[in-house]
Amino acid sequence: MKRDIFNSLIHWKNKVDRKPLIIQGARQVGKTWAMREFGAREYKNTIYINCDDEPLMRNVFEKDYDMERILLELQVISGIKPEPGNTLIILDEIQEVPRGIHSLKYFCEKAREYHVMVAGSFLGIALQEGTSFPVGKVDMLYMYPMSFSEFIAEINPNLGNLLEAQRWDSIATFHDKIVEILRLYYFLGGMPEVVQSYINHKDLKEVRQIQQNILATYRNDFSKHSGSNVAIKIRQVFDSIPSQLTKENKKFIFNVIKKGARAAEYELAIQWLIDCGIVYKANRVKEVRQPLKFYEDISAFKLFIIDCGLFGCMNDTAPEDVLLSNNAFVEYKGAFTEIFVMQQLVAEGYTPYYWSKEQSDGELDFIIQMDGKIFPIEVKAEENVRAKSLHQFIKDHPEFKGLRFSMKGYQEQDWMTNIPLYTINQYICNKNAN
């Protein structure tokens, strides 16, 4: 399985001022696999230690930060002698080891010639008791579920290469086949274990069971790093998100959680879910001007599940309603497609916002800053693209050119560019490269 993060990992390995690397991301997005696979491909030896499974690791950093002793003990535990430049040291679930996070400061200051990579629960790392975070002493990368470009490269590499080339005439020839794969992505999502299971067995029941297991893992984590009262609120917010997204207006409404719910009660729960990477947040902007961050309205926002496949699992969406018909897209009022677009934009490194008029129905699904410009975005689940919001916005703001992501083919107009939904990743990457 090929993941885009490998390019960033190679860059990290070759940096002159390389520091220990922390890979962040929600559970089950493939962090462990990526670290071990990268070690196997790029190094002579790999020391892999799961700090949660190895009881001896609990004592390694407790005495002091004598790097000669620490490296010797890692050798004893793993059976592999660390060699600068030739050995990748991986410490997984590092939050389970007392002072493990703080030790990265000393790997940086006293043993930078050794290549060290760690991963673990975000909150476990951020909130590890009794230690300070090694600010300025670590490199950091964030990992997401598989993007659609990564997904199609696994399912059909030839079509993946065609999308990468952005040959719109040839893409149109294979439009129906690519749409089939896009629908499959809507159902499976981008969690690597889910995708690999489908590739190996083609069993949709098995896929749904794995998705349910991932959701159960998330729910179990709600109480692991928070008190019971906060955990209840986290679960209430999380379980309300499908209902929030299937409304006509997808703005997050606290009354959907429970009658009389107030923002102050649930702010911590929402931030917890965001920090863990389980949900993405798109704030409303009051004005469409650069930088968008200056004009955000923090009281109005939308929350999106990390993965469209997990969204379908939470709703118990039948496979045939996604793969064979448009039922899911009609019933869920475009929620699948908006989650898909949000998932791709975040994976490509953007912070999406949305815009709406306070006293009217006018709304833009997303707004991003790209290539030094602002792009207002309209999202359409199917080929029927009749909607006046984007057209009216561009009419009122002719300094902008709109983007529309839909099932229609590529189309260039004076006021708007229509991009097929399945080419979002490649289109954005090409924009950045130019």
Domain ranges in the chain are 5-142, 148-433
Which pLDDT score, from 0 to 100, does residue 250 have?
93
Which pLDDT score, from 0 to 100, does residue 381 have?
84
Using H for helix, E for strand and C for coil, what is the string for the chain? CCCCHHHHHHHHHHCCCCCCEEEECCCCCCHHHHHHHHHHHHCCEEEEEECCCCHHHHHCCCCCCCHHHHHHHHHHHHCCCCCCCCEEEEEECHHHCCCHHHHHHHHHHHCCCCEEEEECCHHHHHCCCCCCCCCCCCEEEECCCCCHHHHHHHHCHHHHHHHHHCCHHHHHHCHHHHHHHHHHHHHHCCCHHHHHHHHHHCCHHHHHHHHHHHHHHHHHHCCCCCCHHHHHHHHHHHHHHHHHHCCCCCCCCHHHCCCCCCHHHHHHHHHHHHHCCCEEEEEEECCCCCCHHHHEEEEEEEEEECCHHHHHHHCCCCHHHHHCCCHHHHHCCCHHHHHHHHHHHHHCCCCCEEEECCCCCCEEEEEEEECCEEEEEEECCCCCCCCCHHHHHHHHCCCCCEEEEECCCCEECCCEEEEEHHHHHHHHHHHHHC
When pLDDT is cut at 50, 70 and 90, the band that residue 22 belongs to is very high
Which pLDDT score, from 0 to 100, does residue 434 have?
58
Which pLDDT score, from 0 to 100, does residue 123 have?
54
Higher per-residue pLDDT: 96 or 344: 344
When pLDDT is cut at 50, 70 and 90, the band that residue 329 belongs to is confident
Q: 163-183, pLDDT tens digit by residue? A: 999 999 999 999 999 999 999
In this model, does residue 96 exceed pLDDT 90? no
In this model, does residue 229 exceed pLDDT 60? yes
Which pLDDT score, from 0 to 100, does residue 132 have?
73
When pLDDT is cut at 50, 70 and 90, the band that residue 370 belongs to is confident
Which pLDDT score, from 0 to 100, does residue 19 have?
98
* Percent of the chain whose pLDDT exceeds 70: 94
Which pLDDT score, from 0 to 100, does residue 207 have?
98
pTM of the model as a whole: 0.93
When pLDDT is cut at 50, 70 and 90, the band that residue 330 belongs to is confident
Find the mean pLDDT for residues 327-337.
85
Which pLDDT score, from 0 to 100, does residue 124 have?
58
Which pLDDT score, from 0 to 100, does residue 131 have?
63
Q: 107-156, pLDDT tens digit by residue? A: 999 999 999 999 986 655 555 555 678 889 999 999 999 999 999 999 99
Find the mean pLDDT for residues 402-421.
93
Which pLDDT score, from 0 to 100, does residue 431 have?
66
Q: 276-296, pLDDT tens digit by residue? A: 999 999 999 999 999 999 999
At the topology level, CATH places domain 5-142 in Rossmann fold (3.40.50)
